[in-house]
Amino acid sequence: MYIVMLGKPGSGKGTVGKMLSESLGITHLSSGELFRSYIKKAGEIGKQIDSYVSKGNLVPDDLAIKLVEQRLQEPDCKNGVILDGFPRTIVQAEAFDTFLKKQGKKIDIAVELELSDEDIIDRIVKRRVCSNINCREVYNLEFKKPKQEGICDICHSQLVQREDDNIETVKQRLKTYHETSAKLVDYYKAQDLLYAVKLNLHSGKTSEDVAKEIKKCLFGDVS
């Protein structure tokens, strides 16, 4: 099964994607985490990626496609993946479709998480992430606080703020999203693959509710 998570940066794609991954037993592939892993290696590719990501810009199509396709060929992706942060452009989407078609596979659903720009900015600047690369649990200082300040509930590692989780970079990322990634909604809608979930930070709808709603769309009643 192949699920594409769409939405603005900070809309909750990663959190919902991880929940679906655990529930469905398929790999959650975050392009952001993939790119950050290269940045930490500090090689030439990592430096190239960092020059874009640190400024809130997209990684170029050819590089993003190459790295994601390499990752998709690893053993844990053989039964499908939940893609979070890829594709981000029409070029990437078309390349991904071609990649799957060559293997006789296709996308099952593209899920769009709709959240206003104001809510996105508020959510991201208050976001904290577990520093343990094998955990990476996400928290929020307002509506998903850790039990102990600065410490992950799950693995007890220190929580950190991503370098690009600041207002200036977030605004640039949103600008980039509206100029490029937003077009993906129409791309998948035209293929009758789009399922939209409207969100509001103060609506009371949890990530668990969203994951359950997506599963219901895929498989019917899952209560």
Active site positions, annotated: 13, 88, 127, 162, 173
Rounded CA gap, 28 and 17, in Å? 6
Beta strands in the chain (DSSP E): 2-7, 27-30, 81-84, 109-114, 127-130, 138-140, 159-160, 194-198
SS3 of residue 166 by DSSP = coil
Structure-token pair, residue 217 = 């769309």
From the list 92, 57, 86, the residue with the least C-alpha distance to 177 is 57
Phi/psi for 116 (5° steps) reads: -65, 155
Taking the CA atoms of 202, 179, 7 and 58 in sequence, report the sign of the dihedral they define.
negative
Q: How far is residue 145's CA from residue 40's CA, in Å, rounded to a whole number?
A: 27
Q: Which two tokens stand for residue 98?
A: 């071609």
